[in-house]
Structure 1
Amino acid sequence: MSVRKTRLFWKALLALLVVVVAGALSVYLLLFRPVAAPRTEDLARLFNHGSIGNEEVQGLPYWIWRVLPQIFPEHVPNGKDGYGAFGMYWRAGDKVPIGFSVTTLGVIDRVSPNCAFCHQGSYRLKPDEPRVLVSAGAGTRVDPQAYIRFLIKVGADARFTADRVMREITTIYDMPLYERLLYRFVLIPATRKAFQDQARRFAWQDTRPDWGPGRIDPFNPVKFQNLELPDDGTIGNSDMMPLWNLDELAPTNIRTFSLHWDGLQTDVRETAVSGAIGDGMSSKTFLRTQKTSTG
């Protein structure tokens, strides 16, 4: 190879490397760069809407998530309206119901479930009165399995296309051009694929009894997805307990408590962290969530 050709080769290689690095950096800045949430001293709001660090794995682009019940009302349980059909409490003025966080990655808001998704309660004293939220209460009305199945059905629906979703979004949000391009060509196709992947990952639940409102199988998803263990046919359906007076469960010199569903943990903090790991938190995002909570 002549000296001239060698120089051209290295220049082309360098140019290609610059393009690859610039492209990777652009993708990171647009879609994955964590944007710090403001710290808060409001512990109730932190519990109800704070991130547990699962937005990279479980986070749905906000505007896709927002319009799904309007596009696919027939997949919402019992013909009810919107996300309230899954038993979640949605306070007027909030961007999402109790039990969801909104975290910005790059330039895109992501919606993810948090601990309050299952641990929330509500009541009313008369049929015509509005419901009253009970933070960290027993989730007797919440139906996590119905929510999972809703997303799976949406992912299998042929109408889940960029044209249909964008048409619904733009009726309620004047989306800037760069965001339209990201949603149309990247986020909507990726979200549909994620729902279809979820259908495969949760196929095991069709061979078990339904969880029903107020109940969840907390460990089979961890076994089959996080730990990649084979399906052993076990049933782990359990009630979603309230999270009140947890200080009373702290270990002392004379006693410890058997915590979580199976009693294998004795530390409240470890129990909470392991639950978040099961819902998609990683070691990297765990450290990030600590910066937005109170000390």
Structure 2
Amino acid sequence: MNTHYVREPMDEGARRWRRLRNGIAGALSALAVFFLVSSRYAPNQPVTYEHIEDRFRYGTIGADTDSGLPLRVMQVLPRMFPEYLPAGGRRDYTAFGFIQEPGHPMPVGFSIRRRVIDLVGQNCAVCHVGSVRASEQSAPTYYLGMPANTVDLEAYFEFLFRCASDARFTPDLVIDEIERDGALFPLDRLIYRAAIERMKTGLLSQRDSLGPFLRENPPPGPGRVDTFNPYKTRQFAAYYQGHIPDEERIGTADFPSIWNQGPREGMHLHWDGNNTSVNERNVSAAFGAGATREDVDLPRITSIKEWLDELPPPAFPFERGADLARLQRGQALHAEYCASCHAVGGASVGRVVPIEEIGTDEHRLNSYTQFFRQLQVFYGRGYDWEFRHFQKTHGYTNQPLDGIWARAPYLHNGSVPTLWDLLTPAERRPARFYRGHDVYDADRVGFRVDVREVEGRKAFLFDATLPGNSNKGHTGARYGTELSDSDKWALIEYLKTL
């Protein structure tokens, strides 16, 4: 016997309530999905830091936006392609001399921004945090604002180019490697597939534009960079069309220190003194780190600038001589030979010395041309940071010597390893020496010239006979190279106090 149950007809009020209830549930579900997706894939939000030192080490300057590389990909590249890392040392980014602090996903000098996924870019600290140790066996001490004496940027970019050129650099294989550290969400996998393809295309394009330029020039090695010539293959590629004239092709220079910037406002900045505005110098450096005209982060750069204005140079960290008479003699020699050009308030500090007079290597000076200056002015026209103070000079600028002990090697191209060698006539300075390590020579004031490796990481053999590397100039009686040895040691003892 079949029994049929007849449902009582639902009254209109009940139907309305059910529709309302279902509508509310659907809206809440949609809202939950929206908040889940928006919180996970929030657009264009950099990681921020409370303390100014952390903002300097890890905060954004805008280079992690359009030029940003996927964080999860960057973290696995050394593991996927260890054969492309420099020989010796750890199999991570410290192989390039970067400083890796515990608890941070990338080294000092790399910022992180959430732009659908986490992207990384470089900031000021990548070139301006250095390290010093007393011996090969001792632990290093890090100094903010010091030249990044161990960082080899060219080797780092060559690593990225080789990874992108490798047949294994595919979305499938890279994602498999990423998921060894934890599974990705399904939507993440789709996003990373597109991001990996974009990263590969971008790196190969950059390799093709920079590659010939890098191969034709002597390798800069650690602690040095060509500041302006890469613009000619990237931002200004349409004007140079793949060809940089031989006379301006090499512009390698040492990373400078950037502490105590306040007194430097109005001085001629950069090694050749081509700008007198600290703000413009900073914005120009941000472009060198990968920021674009649209994405450069002026408020955060200004915040860092205000901190650097008053950041004091680090004190000499090693034991100093106790001979007061020698120190006083050194102070008198400094006043006689150095102060007018290198002490704040000196008659010639912050001024450009003609190349014929200073006599140092001319390549960095020649790399910056009047034509390049005009391109810079045009590049910034109409933007808040518009360039107004760049100029072509014909020499190198006198700089204050604050924290000079931590700014080795010396001269604009880092061709002289210690202050003792700088006070030696140019023809007797070392033609070859090891640099790129952080083992310090507290007597001669500079990094030791004989250290070939530290913790397995190889040092770089600098050759002063190569183009752009000459250690000539800044020599003769007026520069103190004809002083007696005892006077030189006294002067060096005083320079340790600056």
Q: TM-score, normalised by structure 2?
A: 0.49
Q: Which amino acid aligns with 1:232?
A: P
How far off is 1:293 after superposition? 4.6
Please say if 1:232 is aligned against 2:245. Answer: yes
Structure richer in helix, relative to its length? 1
1:279 counterpart = 2:289:
yes
CA drift of 1:79 comes to 4.2
Query: 1:161–1:283: structure 2 CA closer, same or farther, 3 Å change rule?
Result: closer
1:15 alignment counterpart: none
Q: Is the counterpart of residue 191 in structure 1 residue 199 in structure 2?
A: yes
Asked if 1:136 is matched to 2:145, the reply is: yes
Q: Which of 90, 103, 109 is the aligned partner of 2:118?
A: 109
SS of the residue 1:151 aligns to:
helix
- Give the alignment's Cα RMSD to 1 decimal: 2.4
Q: Deviations over 1:3-53 (max 9, x none)?
A: xxxxxxxxxxxxxxxxxxxxxxxxxx998931254463x221111111111
- Distance in 2 (alpha carbons) for counterparts of 1:202 and 1:210: 13
Equivalents in 2 of 1:190, 1:261: separation in Å?
36
1:1-295 matched pairs, under 5 angstroms: 33-38=43-48, 40=50, 42-80=51-89, 81-106=91-116, 108-183=117-192, 185-203=193-211, 204-228=213-237, 229-230=239-240, 231-233=244-246, 234-251=249-266, 257-287=267-297, 290=300, 293=303
- Aligned partners of 2:113 and 2:290: how far apart in 1? 14
Q: CA 1:61–1:264 in 2, change beyond 3 Å: closer, same or farther?
A: same
Contact 2:98 2:151 in 1 (8 A): yes
Q: Kindly tell me the number of residue pairs found equivalent between the two proteins.
A: 260
- Aligned residues of 1:37 and 1:292 also touching (Cα < 8 A): no
In 1, Cα distance between equivalents of 2:178 and 2:280: 40
Corresponding residue SS for 1:68: helix
State the SS of the aligned residue for 2:119.
strand
Q: 1:33–1:105: 8 Å Cα contact kept in structure 2?
A: yes
3-state DSSP class of the match of 1:84? Answer: helix
Q: 1:113 to 1:60 in 2, by over 3 A?
A: same
Greater relative contact order (Cα < 8 A, sep 6+): 1
1:103 to partner: Cα distance: 0.9
Rounded to whole Å, the distance in 2 between the matches of 1:100 and 1:261 is 25
CA deviation profile, 1:146-173 (whole Å, cap 9, x unmatched): 0010011111111111222112111113
TM-score, reference length from structure 1: 0.81
Q: Specify whether residues 216 and 288 from structure 1 end up closer, same or farther in structure 2 by C-alpha distance, changes over 3 A only.
A: closer
Q: Is the partner of 1:189 in helix, strand or coil?
A: helix
Contact 2:46 2:60 in 1 (8 A): no
Q: CA deviation at 1:290?
A: 3.7
Q: Cα–Cα, structure 1 residues 49 and 39, in superposed 2: closer, same or farther, change >3 Å?
A: closer
Mapped partners of 1:32, 1:216: distance in 2:
35
| Shift in CA distance, 117/277, structure 1 to aligned 2, threshold 3 Å | same
Q: AA paired with 1:158?
A: A
Counterparts in 2 of 1:292 and 1:61: CA distance versus 1, 3 Å: farther
Return the alpha-carbon distance in structure 2 between the equivalents of residues 152 and 36 of structure 1.
Answer: 26
Letter in 1 for 2:201: K
Output the CA distance in 2 between the equivalents of 1:94 and 1:175.
Answer: 20
In 1, the alpha carbon distance for the partners of 2:301 and 2:140 equals: 33
Return closer, same or farther for 1:169/1:223 CA change in 2, 3 Å cut-off.
same
Give 1:120's aligned amino acid.
Answer: V
Q: Secondary structure at the match of 2:100?
A: coil
2:60 counterpart SS class: coil
Change (3 A) 1:62 1:271: same
Deviation string 1:230-255 (CA, Å, 9 cap, x unpaired) is 2223200000011121112123xxxx
Alpha-carbon contact 2:122-2:290 (below 8 Å) kept: no
Tell me, which stretches of 5 or more residues in structure 2 are unaligned? 1-38, 307-498
Q: Secondary structure of 1:137's match? A: coil
Q: Give 1:170's aligned amino acid.
A: E
Unpaired runs of 5+ residues, structure 1, are 1-28, 252-256
Answer whether contact 1:38 1:292 (CA < 8 A) is retained.
no
